[in-house]
Amino acid sequence: MQADWTALGPVTAAGVGVAVAVGVVFALGVHGHARPEGVREHRGGPGARGLGPAALCFLACPAVVAYGTYLDLFVPGPH
Amino acid sequence: MDHITFLVAVVIVTALAFDFTNGFHDTANAMATSIATGALAPRAAVLISGVLNVIGAFLSTEVARTISGGIVSDTLVTPGMIFAGLVGAILWNLLTWFLGLPSSSSHALFGGLIGAVWAGAGSHGVHFAKVVEKVLVPAVASPLVAGVAALLATCLAYRLTARAREEAVTKGFRIGQIASASLVSLAHGTNDAQKTMGVITLTLISAGALGHDADPPLWVIASAGLAIGLGTYLGGWRIIRTMGKGLTEIRSPQGFAAETASTTVILTSAHLGFALSTTQVASGSILGAGLGRRLAEVRWGVAGRMAVAWLITLPAAALLGGLAAAVVQNGGDLGTAAVALVGAALAAGIVLLARRNPVHAHNVNDAHEVRLRTEPPAKVGTAA
C-alpha cells in the first residue's frame, strides 16, 4: 500500500453526493406521501396524486443502498 | 495451532474484550438519534444494532488489513506489546464511557498499539507515514465530510417538506430512520469489528501462526463479530444520552439525514481501507444535522468537550499502552501478569463507579433533560 492522497476526493464526493441524493429523494417521498393527507383535509376529497411519485421515491432509496452495497462488496478496493 | 502459546491466547481474549467495549462505546453512533426521536424503542434499537454489527463483520476485511499490515511493523511487534496496547485502549475506552464522552474507540486502539510498539521496539517500529495517511487525515476529514453531507441533507429535507403536514413528515422520517440507523450499524460492523480482527491477525502473524500479509481466518472474523455484537446489545447508554440529547435536539428528518451521511462516509472509506472513527463520523453528522435545521440549538460546550476528547484519545491511549508495554518488556511473565491484574482492577473500579449513577434503557432519554434545567451548563457534559 502506498500513500494514496487522491482517495480523499472520491470519498468526499461520494459521501456528500450520495447522502444528499438519498436525503432529497426520501424527503420528496415523504412530501408526496404527506401532502395528499393535507389536501384531503382542506378539500374533503381523496388526494391520491403524489402517492405514485412518493412510492417511486421510496423504492429508489433501497435501490441506491443495494447498488452501494454491491459496489462495496463485489467490486474490489484499490489495494 | 502449535504457535498459539498461553500469551497469544491471553492477547486474543484481551482483543475480544476490547472489541466488546468498542461495541457498547459505539452503540450510540448508530442508534442515539433513533432513540432520541422515538423512531425505535431503546431495547429494540440495541438488539437490531447488535445483530447487524455481527452481519457487517462478515462483509469486508479491507480495514483489518490496514491494521495487520499497516501502522506498526509486523516484524518487530510481539504478542506482549499487542497485549499492552490493548490494555491501554480498553482502559481509555472505559474511562471515556464513564464520562459519557463519544471518543473514538479506533483511536484508542491505534494509540494503545502505537505507544506499546514505540516503548517496546523503538520509534522505527511505528510507520508514522501510514499513521498520518490512514488514521490522522481521515480523522480530520471524515467528520467534516459527514457534517457537510448531513447539513445539506437536513436543509433540503426541511425545505422540500415545508408545506406538508408536520405530523406526517415526522412519521415518514421516523420510519426512514429505522432503515438508516440499521445501515449505520451494518457499516459499523464492517468497519470497527475489523479493527479487532486486524489486531488478532497481527498477533497470529507476530507469533508465527500466520504468514505476513495474511487475511483474517474465519474463526477470527466470527469471534470479533460476536464480541462487538454482544457489546452493542449491552448498550452504552451514557454515550447514547450525550449524542442523542446532549449535542443538539434531534428531530426525525435530522436523524435520518445524519444517519444517511454517516453510512455513506463510513462505507466509502472502509472500501478504500481508511480506518476512520465511526464515532467521529457520527458526531460530525449529528452536528451538521443540528446546524441544518433553522432555530436548532447546537450545544457548543458539549461539542467542544468532545473535540478535546478526540484530540487527547490517541496520545492518552498511547501513554497507557506505552507504560504497560514497558512493564511487560522489563518484567517478563511477572510484568505481564501485573499489567493484567492492574488493568482488570482499574476496569472493575470504573464499572463500579458507573453503577452509582447508572444510565440505562429507561432513563436514557429523560435524565439528561432534567439535568439541563437544574445544573449549570458546564456540568452537563461531565454528568452525561
Amino acid identity of B187? A
Flag whether pLDDT at B154 surpasses 50.
Answer: yes
Most confident of A32-41, A68-77, B83-92: B83-92
Q: What's the rounded mean pLDDT across residues A6-16?
A: 79
Question: What's the mean pLDDT in B23-50?
Answer: 89
Interface-testing mutation among A16, A61, A67, with chain B (most B C-beta atoms within 10 A): A16
| Candidate from B1-15, B60-74, B117-131, B230-244 with smallest mean pLDDT | B60-74
Average confidence (pLDDT) over A38-64 = 68
* CA A47 – CA B224 distance, rounded (Å): 51
- pLDDT, position B303: 87
CB B131 within 8 A of CB B71: yes
The grid coordinates listed for B134 are 490512514
> By the 8 A CB rule, do A19 and B265 touch?
yes
At a CB cut-off of 8 Å and minimum separation 6, what does B166 contact?
none
Position B222 scores a pLDDT of 93
- Chain A: closest CA distance from residue B173 (Å): 7
CA atoms within 13 A of residue B331's CA, in its CB half-sphere: 17
Average pLDDT over chain A reads 73
Q: Are A72 and B60 in contact (CB under 8 A)?
A: yes
pLDDT over 70 at A78, yes or no: no
Between residues B274 and B317, the one the model is more confident about: B317
Q: What angle do CA B284, B26, B22 make, to 5 degrees?
A: 130
Distance from CA of B278 to the nearest CA of A (A): 14
B188 Cβ contact partners less than 8 Å away, ≥ 6 residues apart? B26, B29, B30, B49, B52, B53, B56, B232, B266, B278
Q: Look at residue B243 and tell me whether its pLDDT is greater than 60.
A: yes
Q: Check CB contact under 8 Å for B145 and A24.
A: no
Q: Which residues contact B2 (CB under 8 A, 6 or more apart)?
A: none
Inter-chain touch B265–A15, beta carbons under 8 Å: yes
ipTM rounded to 2 decimals: 0.78
Q: What pLDDT does A37 receive?
A: 53
DSSP three-state, residue B27: helix
Q: Is residue B177 pLDDT above 60, yes or no?
A: yes
Alpha carbon of residue B52 to chain centroid:
15
| Residue B273 three-state SS | coil
B247 vs B299: CA distance, rounded Å: 5
- Give the count of beta carbons closer than 10 Å to the beta carbon of residue A75: 8
Q: What is the mean pLDDT of residues A2-27?
A: 80
